[in-house]
Amino acid sequence: MSSALKMTCLECSAVNRVPADKLSAGAKCGTCGARLNDGKVRALDPATLAKAQRNDDVPLLVDFWAPWCGPCRMMAPAFEQAARSISPQARFAKINTEDHPNVSGKFGIRGIPALILFQNGKEIARQAGAVPAPAIEQFVRRKARL
């Protein structure tokens, strides 16, 4: 029997347990039925981010961005490409710092885009500035316990 990994549904915020050997089998949320790890980038609010940050065993890379930020908009396709490429080993999400200005202060973000990698209840790494998809993937593979 494989160990279970905790994953917060990025749609409804429910915490789910997924057998590790079933991670790539298209696991769905037991509450809302959304796919837990489908390689898509999800938009987060601060409450869902806090819950996922606190609970998730699977690495979660969060892009802190704003719509007025040129480098943020330029990096968005690369971030989505990296999310598809590295799934199901890690999940990717974005939080709009314009809509949620308190998150910048909470996480000590001084410039955007900023990538923060969370796993097992803590921040494990951060990367500042726009980077291409291969560099994003390498960052996650190097820093996370995959």
Q: Annotated catalytic, 32?
A: no
Predicted confidence (pLDDT) per residue in 86-98, tens digit: 999 999 999 999 9
Which domains are delineated in the chain?
A: 38-143 (3.40.30.10)
Give me the half-sphere count of Cα atoms (radius 13 Å) on the Cβ side of residue 75.
27
Q: Is 29 a catalytic residue?
A: no
pLDDT of residue 1: 43
Res. 71: pLDDT tops 70 = yes
Q: 3-18, pLDDT tens digit by residue?
A: 889 999 999 999 999 9
Global pTM reads 0.93
Segment 114-139, tens digit of pLDDT? 999 999 989 999 999 999 999 999 99
Which sign does the torsion angle of CA 52, 61, 7, 5 carry?
negative
Q: Which of 9, 29, 32, 72 is catalytic?
A: 72
CA distances from 137 to 27, 58, 79, 92 (A): 22, 15, 9, 11
Read off the pLDDT of residues 37-61 as tens digits, 9 standing for 90 and up.
889 999 999 999 999 999 999 999 9
